[in-house]
Chain A
Amino acid sequence: GAGVSQTPSNKVTEKGKYVELRCDPISGHTALYWYRQSLGQGPEFLIYFQGTGAADDSGLPNDRFFAVRPEGSVSTLKIQRTERGDSAVYLCASSSPGENTGELFFGEGSRLTVL
């Protein structure tokens, strides 16, 4: 596709449930990022992939959060035992290191609501 695609766009779940959020980056982009955005705040870094490997996962808040990118393209963010505080918009972005260093192309986000 032309842009970064994220599914689902909205997810409502109950406290304690498991959630998966999917990101399909721009074709050919080797770098993929997950950010989390709460209301009135800027995006907060979670994890960065270069190819298949997590190059920086320092932003993951705890071990309930995990992300994979097994073939270097699509990525899945997994949240176990969800808590109400996990409610936020989860943004995925991709980039291709090159002349526009660091410019990120964001998807529209997955809005997670934990009841």
Chain B
Amino acid sequence: SQKIEQNSEALNIQEGKTATLTCNYTNYSPAYLQWYRQDPGRGPVFLLLIRENEKEKRKERLKVTFDTTLKQSLFHITASQPADSATYLCALEMDSSYKLIFGSGTRLLVRP
């Protein structure tokens, strides 16, 4: 069956450290993979998009990798801050459709 897996347990780290979140998928062949941030009671906000032929993408303190062989994406936040505390969602987009398929998200808590 098709699955997108994100760690359901919250990731709890100290301010200043690098947070690494994982997104694994099975039985999908996405053309794109996206990461969103969601704060409680708010809608998701787009962060980064990476294409299947890209290995890595960076934006400020954010870095995303995409390994289509392992069927995995890693999302890194360097020099993390308490304001980075939120739920982070990965989403797959197939080549034939603009429809996004979301994982269940991982909650990140950055302690001051």
Contact = CB atoms under 8 A, between A and B. Distances in A.
23 contacts: A33-B99, A33-B100, A35-B102, A40-B104, A41-B104, A42-B6, A42-B89, A43-B100, A45-B99, A48-B98, A48-B99, A59-B99, A93-B43, A101-B32, A102-B98, A102-B100, A103-B46, A103-B49, A104-B44, A104-B46, A106-B43, A108-B41, A108-B43
B101 interface: yes
A31 interface: yes
A44 B102 contact: yes
Given A48-B99, A102-B100, 8 more contacts: A31-B98, A33-B99, A42-B91, A42-B102, A59-B99, A100-B49, A103-B49, A106-B45
User: Which one of A56, A100, A105, A106 has the highest number of Cβ atoms from chain B below 10 Å of its Cβ?
Assistant: A106
Given A97-B98, A101-B49, A102-B49, A43 B44 contact: yes
Interface string B39-70: 00111111001000000000000000000000
**Most chain B C-beta atoms within 10 Å of own C-beta, residue among A42, A48, A91, A93:** A42
- Grouping DSSP codes into helix (H, G, I), strand (E, B) and loop, the B interface class, with mixed when no group exceeds half, is strand
Contacts of B89: 42-43
Interface of A: 4, 31, 33, 35, 40-45, 48, 56, 59, 91, 93, 95, 97, 100-109
A35 B97 CA distance: 15
B73 to A, nearest CB: 14
Interface residues of B, number: 24
Interface in B80-112: 89, 91, 93, 97-105
Interface of B: 4, 6, 8, 32, 34, 41-46, 49, 89, 91, 93, 97-105
A95 B44 contact: no
A56 B42 contact: no
B102 A43 contact: yes
Contact of B101 (A45, A95, A104): A45
